Amino acid sequence: MKILILGGAGMVGQKVANYLIENGLDDREISELILYDVVDAKVSQSSFPVKVLSGNIADPEQSKVLANLEADVIFHLAAIVSGEAEKDFDKGWDINSKGGWNLLEALREKHVSSGEKYIPRLVFASSIAVFGGPFPNKIDDDFLCAPKTSYGAQKAMVELLVSDYSRKGYIDGLSVRLPTICVRPGKPNLAASSFFSGIIREPLNGVEAILPVSDDVRHWHASPRSAAKFFAHAATLDTSLLDGRRSLNLPGVSCTVAEQIEALGKVAGEDAVKLIKRVPDQDIISIVDNWPRNFDPARAIELGFTAESNFEEIIKVYLEDDFEG
């Protein structure tokens, strides 16, 4: 089985790659793993071949190159983040939407030219940003997508395409709506959600962190380790169980910023907590104000997806998997 990760150099792409290298994919033999991104992806030592490819998914010609790889499983995580998509309208739609559409078109051509034999499993990294307020207390599996960011609209659009191309049998795809992934290792990024990780990661590393929103902001989180497991599980899921609804809200932890900070205090003490500096940022407040706070992801849970059950666990996953201090 050949596996292709688009966005393979990104944080979650790397987590998926390393998960596959360490755990395989159920009982399927992995013959090759290909990591594709705009920059060269890092590669860990592996018992099966891992190849690195670079290119820009916004270039339609690249889609053909990718389809010609005839991967059995494609994880599509290539995207620019929410903050950047909001600032650069063209870039967001080009990469986050047209990039995905071009890929699906190239896969359909491959499907046709293979005599309809080639039907790859495609797992699309969607986001809870497909939802926009006002929200119920818990978002259930029947709640509408009314995104209030370009990023959310771009993700929702590709979800529609993944569903329709799958319904037609050109691919066998599904979209997983990731919670905010927390605690992200490394440096802050342009995502408006970056601070949710920053206020934990920076203090754990003895560094000051900026909190741009109020303590009562509630949000929906899962660890990078859970993200990798989501993708691996989605890659082997029996999609006939989805009954045509190929976008899934995934499990996660709902907590307020205050509860995040309380968990940080429990794990790392009050000195860590004191490193959090409150500097309200109206742009981020406005974006986050339109983000979901809590979910009842009944379908995904029934389908076997799992995540952490409280924020302390999420911090502990960071300490186990990514902390270098």
In the stretch 165-204, what mask flags binding to its own copies with x, by CB under 8 A? --xx------------------------------------
Minimum distance, C-beta of residue 287 to its own copies, in the bound complex (Å): 12
Say how far apart CA 200 and CA 221 lie, in whole Å: 13
Task: Calculate the alpha carbon distances from 299 to 117, 162, 202, 240, 303 in Å.
Answer: 30, 18, 35, 13, 6
Q: Quick check: 142 binds its own copies (CB under 8 A)?
A: yes
Candidates 138-146, 192-200, 266-274, 295-303: pick the segment binding its own copies (CB under 8 A): 138-146
Candidates 45-53, 114-122, 158-166, 256-264: pick the segment binding its own copies (CB under 8 A): 158-166
On the CB side of 112, CA atoms within 13 Å amount to 7
CA angle 23, 24, 27 (to 5 degrees): 115
Q: Which residues are paired to 211 by β-bridges?
A: 278
Which phi and psi (to 5°) does residue 228 adopt? -60, -40
Task: Calculate the alpha carbon distances from 284 to 170, 213, 253, 278, 280 in Å.
Answer: 39, 7, 21, 13, 8
- Candidate list 28, 87, 245, 277; residue touching its own copies; CB under 8 A: 245
Catalytic residue among 36, 118, 151, 318: 151
**Is residue 170 among the annotated active site residues?**
no
Nearer Cβ to its own copies (16/178) = 178
- Candidate list 57, 81, 161, 204; residue touching its own copies; CB under 8 A: 161
Minimum distance, C-beta of residue 161 to its own copies, in the bound complex (Å): 7
- Name, in order, each residue with C-beta under 8 angstroms of 16's C-beta and a sequence gap of 6 or more: 5, 8, 75, 77, 227, 228, 231, 232
Footprint (CB under 8 A) of its own copies, residues 64-93: 89
Active site residues: 151
Would you tell me which residues interact with its own copies (CB under 8 A)?
89, 132, 134, 136, 141-148, 150, 153, 156-157, 160-161, 163-164, 167-168, 243-245, 247
